[in-house]
Structure 1
Amino acid sequence: MAKSSFTSKAIASAFMILTGSVIAGIVTMVILYNTQISSMNPTPRPTFSTTTTGPPPVMRLPKNLIPETYTVFLKPHFYTRIIEEVNVTSPNQTMLFTGNSTVNFHCAQTTRTIYLNSKDLAVSKPKVIDTENNNNIEVSAMKHHEDESDFLEIQLKEALEAGGNYSLSLDFKGEISENLDALFVSTYQEGEPEFEGDTNTERFLVATNMEPTDARRVFPCFDEPEMKAVFYVTIIHRRFTKALGNEQQSASNIIDEDWQYTSFHPTPKMSTYLVAFTVSEFKPTPSTHERVTIETFARPEAAAAGHTHYAASITGKILQFYENYFEINYQQKTLDQIALPDLSPAAMENWGLITYQEGGLLYEEGVSSLLHKEVIATLISHELAHQWFGNLVTMKWWNEVWLNEGFASYMSYFAVDHIDPSFKARDTFVMRDLHTAFEEDSLASSHPLSPPQEDVQETYQIIEMFDAITYSKGAIVLRMLEDVVGEKVFQKGIKMYLSDFKYANTDQNDLWDYIQMAVDEDSGHTKVALIMKPWTTQIGYPVITINTTDGGIYQKHFLFNDSSESNLWWHVPITAMSDTSGLFSFTLEDKPEKKDTLISKSGEWILANVNCTGYYRVNYNPENWERLLTQLEKDPHRIPLMNRGQLIDDAFNLARAKLVDVSLALNSTRFLHNETAYIPWESAVRNLEYIVLMFDRSEVYGPMQAYLQEQVKGLYSFFRNYTYYSKVPEDHSLQRSQLLAIHVACSNGLPECIEMASKMFANWMNSNTTNGIHPNLRSVIYCQAVAAGGGKEWEFAWNKFQSSSDTSEKEQLRKALSCTKKIWLLNRYLEYTLDPEKIRLMDVASTINYIAKNVAGQALAWNFVRAHWDYVRQGAGAMLIEGVTSRFSTQFELKELEHFATDYELDSANRAVYQAIEQTKVNIEWVGEHKDVILEWFEGQTAL
């Protein structure tokens, strides 16, 4: 719905209250609020006397009521600090919040029942008013549906008439969450007490994380993305704290000696999942922008030490880049960012108040890796892109959340490249997303980018949509579309799309229509919807097989389980090149084709999917494969950089699907002994990781390590002088290669590498004061030294982890602690994940996965996850399952996994578990067929 579709009396009335005589109006509201809330004792949530006993007829809200504005007063009762003074009883921390809300809505169809969403809230005092004549409409009953719908049903004694405007007021109370969802509490340590008697340095804050369906746990609302509204929010919070919200502060004043309020200007028309606020003692760092006031908030110590400076220095530039690219200004006067000690996602794009995990926003000169700047820039670019894709224009329903996340991922390529071209990030990001999507989309249990709405109804189904398909495949499919229609046409189409659907909701057909309009205006002939529909409504992707002998070319659905039946097909845009000729392009339809241009001359190779612009794999006849691999060994630079990586990736994955011999895949790594570029090495290491996972508990592992030692010697030697003097090259791509060289060399037992890492770490242990290891190298040096060491090294790393206040250093140490080969230490570390004082809840899943990646820790981690599933799965169950089952390749492990699927409550991990079952079956068959061949190949290489 477009912005200008209506202007209700309710909006005008609320606007007058909040802006016409703001101070008097707000004080009156606060007094009214306190009167309403005073009767709501902070007791456990009551149960309603009337509830439904079965599921509702539908999971979605009816469309008969259209919300227009919300006025929300909310009071979190927590303390930011607990003061311990002699002879004074310290206050107990309270996790209560109370509030009231009024939603003004338009009635589109006569009804005597109001349905909205509410979960985990005690709701009372419903009041319905006909706002056109100020008449009260009596409520006959209110009940909460105790099922997955979270419906709050309010029955009326008289009907709401179609065409009328009404309001619903409710009081509510709930509990501040300790599980990083809805309105949640976060803690951190402050350096020194600020005043006498303050002996406790633990500090508390609250923040919100509403996406996708947790707004209903903070206030009753029409909690669906298409039901957009304008929000007027007032937060009552303790004095000397700072409340941030979606909009600029409109008023603030003291209520009494304990409380003050902060009111915010009305938000743009937006979805409920974007509503956000925080209450903390954090301090801001400003950014530069000609029109928008931008501030980045962090812990006082971190802000004072300048850890927000890098983020603050690039945010305005990124925002300006998007404004220029889309030719649409950011819609608000302020933009706040806040680095939270705890947050379940890496970041959340709330309009005007973007929340981040600390590690995604803070950078400490001399401590953080130079490469961490790329992480920060990418994350900020992704979240700022959402201010247009997701916030300004929103998908109609969660089945098409890729319109939010795929676009944000794709646009971040351009923004990061704009603010710092030295990162050379675009190629790296493309390959990362391409291979991430390929991996998950190679299973029959994958899902389409855009499944039917009826398949995505319950909350766990919605959460399952936030995966590699949505983010990475979404970005890559958009890149492919841009390549087909041209960059200028694509940019023009999305500009029109964003402009015409401001404040409204869309589906992918709207996007295709607007790209088509741009194509038509450019006199193009591409049929956008025809080409794109198979890529978004079907699972998977094709493998294109090219026979250079006779020019034959055909497509087939690529699956690791090649015995799976599939009749899917796609419109495949193909760009190819040969040894002697330039680029040529064509589109492959569903039927096999013959292309004379693909008939190879004597000794000439053909390379398809140049620069990896298409979302497909390529297979060739054996002769062409041999020519390409020979070219890589003779002069790899004749092959474009991205394709040097992709040839390896295609070869290994075609071997996993049994479409080529595994020896061909292994042969694709032979040229690496002379390669220094990051992308080919990264592709090889990632693909060999699958073989490592399948065979690092078998006799294959020794010869494999010996081969990799030899292959990496050249790369390791290339960086030796840098590494031994704890220095790094200026080029960011070479910095990545240096880290990879150390990782591969040390983890495969190259003696000089292990000696180097152990010596650097020992020097740090013995110095007691300074860490002489370059920040770039710390992650890999810490890990390899802990792996080579014992209890002494582990204890040192653990003590440093506990005492460090730097988020980057803590993250590197947290990962390194999982590298030990001592089982008793890994068991101890797993137990630590159950204690939030030791390992924060948001880090539990990744810590367990780090341990599971360690061959000594995999079985420990799997047993631990099953023993403590209810705790460890919170917010990251799918990620955990993927991590702890990555080595499964035996019938015994398959049976354990199948028992897990039936014996445990899976919720949002459901799809991940069944994908793991499918992958395990593939692994069992593949290992049985290829173990002897792989062992023979590696033994043959070491004998040369």
Structure 2
Amino acid sequence: MKYRWGRRGIVALAIVLCSTSARAEAPFNFETNPGNLPKTIVPTHYRVRIEPDLPARTIQGEVRIDIEVRATVDAIVLNANELTIDRATLLPAGDSPHDDPVALTATLDADLQQLSLAGPEPLAPGAYVIEITYRGIIHPNAEGFFFDRYPTASGEKEMFGTQMEVLEARRALPCWDEPAFRATFDVTLVVPASFTAFSNMPATGETPLPGDRKAVSFARTPSMSSYLLAFFGGELETIEADHHGTRLIIAFTEGKTATAGYALESTKRILDYYADYFGAPYPLPQLVQIGVPNAFSNFGAMENWGCISYIDTLLLYDPAVMSQTDKEWVFKVIAHEIAHQWFGNLVTMGWWDNLWLNEGFASWLETKCTNDLNPTWNTWLRANSDKERALALDARQSTHAIQLPGVTETSAMDAFDTISYEKGKAFVRMLEAFLGETPFRDGIRLYMQRHALSNTTTADLWAALAESSGQPVTAIAAGWTEQPGFPIVSATVSDDRLHLDQQRFILDDPQAENLSWSIPVTFAPYDQLTSPSSHLLAATPADLPWPGDRSAPKLNVGDTGFYRVLYDEATLSALIAALPTLPVADQLNLLGDTWALVLAGRVAATDYLDIVLALRHSTAQPVWETMLRSLGTIDSWQQRQPGRFAYQSWLVELLTPQLDHIGWDATPGESPLLGTLRARLINILAKSGDEATIAECQRRFARYQEDPTSLSGDLRPAVFNTVGRYADEAMYRRLHDLARAAPTTAEKRRAYGAMQHALEPALARRTLELTLGDELSTSERNANVQRVGVYGEHLDLAWEFAVAHAAELLAAQPAFGVNSYLPEIVQNATDSRYAHELEQVTREHLGEAGEAEAAKATSLIRLNAAVSERELPRIDAWVARRVTPRS
């Protein structure tokens, strides 16, 4: 349910009371836009011809670039990285036959990743053409050109592709590799005759070449940023459709045709939804979506304009082996990447400090689209978990603002995080609710029309939304995007008044600056939540009428706001008593706020457990999903603690009736979400040592080995993980055989995942050793150590292995993720010694570049250590009063 916020009197209030320390961002201006390249030369058009040589792992390229020199320069400066320049020449524009090419001297600066081309004399303003022939490298990771090796029924094969974001186009061709330098591109790929090749635009022709090769040419692109380029080729199969004049292609590796139909049909629905939302059709004549089996290890997909790439588990859906959760992820990721075709590609942020303009908005629209087109999935309710992750990170000292002033090219890669995506998404939702759906959509349409084929800053978006809504959007929004953190609203009822005040909510820095925000607070008596009131709360506290005959107030109605609420004791008691009768969104909101207050030390964990008991009869899957997440966190605190056995016994008593109620097998007509809940209940019961659940998983796995169709896609994760968790030597070998023989990415991941769950230390060590060999794919190898540490509860072994092999492991990581590799292994630890060791190892191997990601992890580790030390004695005592002793 969505609420349209009341606006009467809001404008003056926002202008007078909004008080933040935010900076004033300016609209996009090419001349003042951040960047490293001089703006004295701009490219207007590229003609690119590239031949990848997969066996040699090299590329041979030729690029001809039309440039406009805007002021006299001594050299032409553009980007290049890991390229060998064989020849560079300069021509005047127009290809005059009377003008001889001028040889240019090429100088590469490896540190700056810049190529300087100098002629015999300074270059005067005017139009010119530069021609460059060069050689480059094909990488095992998705950075620039990459290769992917995969199994097929006819043997192992390879394909190539590209990943250009953030600063990887310069590995594929010399170019102006910054978002603001837009240009058009003509692309030709030279590939083996058996290959199908794709780029951003439709192929316009193929020319046979000697050596069983062909040259595939593609139509000219619109003006676009270099990071959106795409070159792909391999022995790929496709399914296609024409949809309202747009050619849709789903491309994938051999033998996966039956799994591609869901993506094609979903794409049609999503394109129609966005064409209506943006008030403009999809902007290109073709949309190719390519499933890559293994190469994407640190992200799932990339929105290359007209040629989107995915790790194939996020594009291809097979209901026989994949779960409802997998199905939802496929839809959501497709929705996210297609949203970028307008918001991000047609209109592009000017620099990486405004990355959230791409990712936060696409994350919001992905969720909105998925929720509207699949109403039985309750997507917005379940997106509460995304918002909670953002709130949890944003409450720590190591957070950052959504907008990131001072971002460099290298630090930009660390900005692809929960703040940019999930806080961005949550803030956009709150702003839409405040402005109203129609004014907000009208503002987005205006923004797209005004800035199509150009670049922007957040200020340009605020201007369009302000114009459409009549609201002072910049004054309201600046504090949310230009400063870190978020507020907690104190709500106290006394003397027929509701007193509201705000302060910054932070968990680990009592000296943090007490910032303020313009908060669109909604509130209503808990028994009248369908008609909430609203108030824009600024730095000054507010006293609002609250007659004594009203029920207790519930704030953040519908859970659309990005803030916490602290109620007075009487109000909180009334809300908890009424909790089972509240709408699910408000139950989730109270659960999230209470858990956050536990972490802050303002509420005891046992109070949260009381709320869990109050909701134990709930039938709402999002409520159970939220509670199971927090209950699982407590279980992680209990690892190697004496109270774990009793706590897990209590979990078994709590959850067994829920599983008994829904049963192990799906029934005709049941909600698709029950399959997800069923699997999670089985997983946590088995993890808690419930012998009946473990035995049933083992029985079903034994039957699966005889008849794979006997085990549904929804149950496979829980059954495989349970079997792997309690595996002996023989079962571990069986899982290993399944992993090596699995024909698809999803099935390989499932089997290797089961191995990563093994509790037996000797088996865990063997799984860790796989990281250093060639058996695992890139994506599996890069996640293996972290998964053994978390899934198998072998943090000590995983960290010891990571430290011992840090240089080798980090060298294998792509730039997109190298700084987060070590932090992700230990970030859930509850022993603060890991924080100290992480800082040491990061300094030794990554230096300053790794500090930001390490800081996020160390702050969480120290928080976990403090909270678990404080709360576990209370939890143990609480459990002891309620649990039935288990033998």
TM-score (norm 2): 0.91
User: Cα distance, 1:486 vs. partner?
Assistant: 0.2
More deviation, 786-795/292-301: 786-795
**2:6 equivalent in structure 1:** none
Give the match's secondary structure for 1:595: strand
Distance 1:189 1:820 in 2: 26
Q: Cα distance, 1:256 vs. partner?
A: 1.6
Shift of 1:438: 1.2
CA 914–399 in structure 1, closer or farther in 2 if over 3 Å, else same: same
Provide closer, same or farther for how the CA distance between residues 608 and 405 of structure 1 changes in structure 2, counting only shifts above 3 A.
Answer: same
Q: Structure 2: any 5+ residue segments left out of the alignment?
A: 1-26
Is 2:179 the counterpart of 1:250? Answer: no
Structure 1 counterpart of 2:475: 530
- Contact 1:410–1:478 (Cα < 8 Å) also in 2: yes
Shift in Å, 1:858? 1.3
Q: What's the Cα RMSD here? A: 2.3
Partners of 1:576 and 1:856 lie apart in 2 by 43
Q: Among 41, 56, 80, which residue is 1:65 paired with?
A: 41
Name the counterpart of 1:616: 563
**Is 1:218 matched with 2:172?**
yes
Match of 1:805 among 718, 743, 746: 743
Whole-angstrom distance in 2 between the partners of 1:298 and 1:290:
23
Q: How does 1:110-129 map to 2 (within 5 A)?
A: 110-129=72-91
Displacement of 1:139 after TM fit?
5.1
Map Cα deviations across residues 890-933 of structure 1 (whole Å, 9 max, x no partner): 34333322322322225764322111222222233333333322
Rounded Cα–Cα distance in structure 1 between residues aligned with 2:512 and 2:181: 41
Mean CA deviation greater in 910-919 or 922-931: 922-931
Q: Does the aligned pair in 1 maintain the 2:42–2:68 contact within 8 Å?
A: yes
Distance 1:300 1:844 in 2: 23
Asked whether the equivalents of residues 287 and 315 of structure 1 are also in contact (C-alpha less than 8 Å), the reply is no
Q: Alignment partner of 1:301: what SS? A: coil
1:102 to 57, 64, 71: 64
Counterpart in 2 of 1:198?
none
Partner residue in 2 for 1:647:
590
Is 1:171 aligned to 2:130, yes or no? no
Matched residue, 1:549:
494
* SS of residue paired to 2:824: helix
Q: Distance in 1 between matches of 2:666 and 2:843?
A: 51
Distance 2:692 2:39 in 1: 68
User: 1:342 aligned to 285, 294, 313, which one?
Assistant: 294
Counterpart residue number, 1:285: 239
Residue 693 (structure 2) aligned to one of 749, 753, 756: 753
Identify which of 864, 871, 875 aligns with 1:930.
871
Give, as a single letter, the amino acid of the residue that structure 2 aligns with 1:446: T
Does the CA contact (< 8 Å) of 1:844 and 1:872 recur in 2? no
Residues 372-410 of structure 1, C-alpha deviations (whole Å, 9 max, x = no match)? 221111111111111001110000001111111111111
Instruction: Kindly indicate whether residue 843 of structure 2 is the aligned counterpart of residue 902 of structure 1.
Output: yes
Alignment of 1:423-572 (within 5 A): 423-428=377-382, 430-452=383-405, 455-459=406-410, 461-520=411-470, 526-549=471-494, 551-561=498-508, 563-572=510-519
Structure 2 Cα separation of the partners of residues 887 and 334 of structure 1: 44
Q: Which amino acid aligns with 1:507?
A: T
Amino acid at match of 1:535: W
Alpha-carbon displacement from aligned partner over 1:185-234 (angstroms, at most 9, x marks no partner): 11112213xxxxxxxx2211110011110000111000000000000111
Contact 1:138 1:158 in 2 (8 A): no
Query: Aligned partner of 1:847: which letter?
Result: N
Q: Compute the displacement of 1:504 (Å).
A: 0.2
Q: In structure 2, do the counterparts of structure 1 residues 630 and 562 end up closer, same or farther at CA, with 3 Å as the change threshold?
A: farther
**In structure 2, distance between residues paired with 1:910 and 1:102:** 40
Query: How far apart are the structure 2 equivalents of 1:740 and 1:186?
Result: 33
- Asked whether the 8 Å contact 2:335–2:370 carries over to 1, the reply is yes
Pairwise mapping of residues 2-41 of structure 1 onto structure 2 (< 5 A)? none
Q: Say if 2:735 is the partner of 1:784.
A: no
Instruction: Specify the alignment match of 1:142 in structure 2.
Output: 106
In the aligned structure 1, how far is the partner of 2:420 from the partner of 2:515? Answer: 20
Alignment pair present for 1:676 and 2:630: no
Q: 1:714 to 1:806 in 2, by over 3 A?
A: same
The Cα of 1:145 is off from its aligned counterpart by: 1.4
Structure 2: distance between partners of 1:719 and 1:763:
22
- Summarize the Cα distance change of 1:580–1:268 in structure 2 as closer, same or farther, 3 Å threshold: same
Contact 1:888 1:923 in 2 (8 A): yes
* Aligned residues of 2:301 and 2:309 also touching (Cα < 8 A): yes
Matching residue's letter, 1:76: P
| Partners of 1:896 and 1:572 in 2: CA distance | 40
1:178-257 equivalence runs, <5 A: 178-192=140-154, 201-257=155-211
User: Which stretch of the first structure deviates more once superposed, 710-719 or 220-229?
Assistant: 710-719
Looking at structure 2, the residues matched to 108 and 263 of structure 1 have their Cα atoms a distance apart, in angstroms, of: 31
How far off its partner does 1:601 sit? 4.8
Does 661-670 or 463-472 show the bigger shift? 661-670
Paired with 2:699 and 2:254, the residues of 1 have a C-alpha distance of 36
Q: Equivalent residue for 1:47?
A: none
Q: CA deviation at 1:418?
A: 4.1
CA shift in 2, pair 1:755/1:676, >3 Å:
farther
Question: Is 1:262–2:209 an aligned residue pair?
Answer: no
Q: Identify the match of residue 378 of structure 1 among 318, 332, 351.
A: 332
User: What is the aligned partner in structure 1 of residue 673 from structure 2?
Assistant: 733
The percent identity for this pair of structures is: 26
Are 1:687 and 2:630 counterparts? yes
Deviation at 1:270, TM superposition (A): 0.3
C-alpha separation in 1, matches of 2:374 and 2:833: 50
Amino acid aligned to 1:682: E
Compute the displacement of 1:263 (Å). 0.7
Determine whether 1:369 maps to 2:323: yes
Is 2:595 the counterpart of 1:595?
no
Q: Say which SS state the counterpart of residue 544 (structure 1) adopts.
A: strand
Q: 2: CA distance between counterparts of 1:133 and 1:773?
A: 66
Q: 1:911 aligns to what?
A: 852
Change (3 A) 1:404 1:246: same
1:842 pairs with 2:794: no
- Once the two structures are superposed, the pairs formed by residues 301-380 of structure 1 within 5 Å of their partners are 301-303=255-257, 306-344=258-296, 345-380=299-334
In structure 2, relative to structure 1, the CA distance for the partners of 1:727 and 1:800 (3 Å cut) is: farther
Q: Aligned partners of 1:683, 1:564: CA distance in 2, in Å?
A: 31
Contact 2:40/2:71, CA 8 A, preserved across alignment: yes
Tell me how far apart the structure 1 counterparts of residues 668 and 517 of structure 2 sit (CA, whole Å): 45
CA shift, 1:327, in A, is 1.4
State the SS of the aligned residue for 1:534.
helix
AA of the residue aligned to 1:65: I
Q: Is the 8 A contact 1:127 1:169 kept in 2?
A: yes
* Alignment check: 8 A CA contact 1:185 1:204 kept: yes
| Secondary structure, counterpart of 1:448 in structure 2 | coil
State the one-letter code of the partner of 1:915. K
Q: 1-side partners of 2:320 and 2:341: how far apart?
A: 32
2:294 alignment partner AA: D
TM-superposed CA distance for 1:488, in Å, is 0.4
* Structure ranking higher on relative contact order (CA contacts 8 Å, 6+ apart): 2
Query: In structure 1, how many angstroms separate the alpha carbons of the residues matched to 2:53 and 2:330?
Result: 33
The offset of 1:575, in angstroms, is 0.9
Matches of 2:693 and 2:827, distance apart in 1: 27
Counterpart among 846, 857, 866 of residue 803 in structure 2: 866
Structure 1 contact 424–732 (Cα < 8 Å) conserved: no
TM (norm. structure 1) is 0.86
Looking at structure 2, the residues matched to 612 and 726 of structure 1 have their Cα atoms a distance apart, in angstroms, of 31
Distance 1:287 1:374, change over 3 A: farther
Structure 2 distance, partners of 1:908, 1:489, is: 42
SS in 2 for 1:933: helix
Residues 168-192 of structure 1 deviation map (CA, whole Å, 9 limit, x = unaligned): 1111001211222110111112213
Listed as ranges, the gaps of 5+ residues in structure 1 are: 6-57, 79-92, 193-200, 521-525
What amino acid is aligned across from residue 607 of structure 2 in structure 1? L
The answer to whether the Cα contact below 8 Å between 2:85 and 2:132 also exists between their aligned partners in 1 is yes
Equivalent pairs counted in the alignment come to 844
- Amino acid in structure 1 at the alignment position of 2:499: G
Letter in 2 for 1:869: A
